[in-house]
Amino acid sequence: MKIGLISDLHTDVTPQNKALVPHLICAVKAAELDVFVLAGDLARHLTALSETLNAFHEAELACDKVFVPGNHDIWAIETPNVTSEQKCQIISALCYECGFHPLMEAPFVKQRVARDICPSDAKVGFCGTIGWYDYSFAPEGYEFSDAQYAQKQLMGVVWNDKRYAKWGDTDLAVTRRLVAKLCKQFTVLREEVSRIIVVTHHVPFRECIRYHGELPWDFFRAFMGSVRFGAICLQEPLVTHVLFGHTHRQIDMDIGSVRALCAPVGYLHEEPPCGLQAYAESRLTCFSI
């Protein structure tokens, strides 16, 4: 089974980000994937997010497609009285309309097809969540309190979740709730599949966080993810891969018993020197199991 991963398309940030989408579609087609994973941060506004999902849908890709939203996706920008939970539900409905399986709603099971695979190893489960943060990635060497991190601002810089993420609860409570939901997905799949691939948007392992030893950069690393998600993945024997986004740098590393992969596009403020097609091909990360 061949799986492809991409995240952080940010199609409503720059014209280059939007222009990259058809090139990504070409890259996905050329890769001949069995499963295409889109790990969040497509767009802040529902119109742009829907257009992006629909572009992949209209391309009639031969592979299955799965999705988790990112923090930009769940920002409640359009309507003041819409919560982030409600926007998650709207996004899930859009996913179904566009042929994507929304992993936050339920896990997805893919049948492996090969003559040399025994029946007990034939099914792969995909679990997913946006992830979130509880300040467990806060940098060492500073004395910021949880109350200061909860303000999400330092030295005149504001983390935009403060303005637009409307969960109606503390970051710790949101993280605990989403960890519990992911654990339930593990339980649902445990007797059905031979392995589990986890998809999050936020970073699940501290080893994947890059600290610069300066402020305000290191302060904002507290909002990259939570050790809780990585811990439950390492505790579940069936989890072999954890796929994520959010940090705008490519990652491929082994952490304990799992392979951690991040394949972001990031912000394209100008066209890459190699051209959009070559850039798309370089950002799409593929692996086989």
Q: Mind listing the pLDDT tens digit for each residue in 184-206?
A: 999 999 999 999 999 999 999 99
Structure confidence at residue 77 (pLDDT): 86
pLDDT for 99-124, tens place per residue?
999 999 999 999 877 654 555 568 99
| 67 neighbors 38 (Cβ within 8 angstroms) | yes
Q: For position 122, what pLDDT does the model report?
A: 84
Provide the pLDDT for residue 57.
97
Q: What is the pLDDT of residue 78?
A: 78
Residue 111: strand pairing partners: 123
Tell me how far apart the alpha carbons of residues 182 and 25 are, in angstroms, rounded to a whole number: 29
Give all strands (DSSP E) within the chain, no chain letters: 2-6, 35-38, 64-67, 100-102, 108-111, 123-129, 153-154, 157-158, 195-200, 239-244, 251-255, 258-262, 285-288
What's the number of CA atoms in the CB half-sphere (13 Å) around residue 223? 22
Query: What tokens does 27 get?
Result: 């890259």
Distances (CA, A) of 70 to 169, 183, 200, 264: 18, 19, 8, 12
CATH classification of 2-288, choosing from 3.30.230.80, 3.60.21.10, 3.30.930.10, 3.30.450.40? Answer: 3.60.21.10
What does the angle CA 22 – CA 5 – CA 105 come to, to the nearest 5 degrees? 100
* Distance separating alpha carbons of residues 68 and 281, to the nearest angstrom: 21
- The structural domains of the chain, with segments of one domain joined by +, span 2-288
| pLDDT attached to residue 269 | 95
Distances (CA, A) of 170 to 46, 76, 146: 25, 16, 11
Eight-class DSSP state of 240: E
Give pLDDT, residue 119.
57
Residues 6 or more apart in contact with residue 161 via CB below 8 angstroms? 71, 75, 152, 223
Residue 207 to residues 99, 219, 224: CA-CA distances in angstroms?
Answer: 34, 16, 12
Q: What is the pLDDT of residue 120?
A: 52
Dist. CA 133–CA 174, nearest whole Å:
8
d(CA 278, CA 24): 10
What pLDDT, on a 0 to 100 scale, did the predictor assign at position 200?
98
Residue ranges in the chain whose pLDDT is less than 50 = 116
The single-letter code of the amino acid at 190 is R
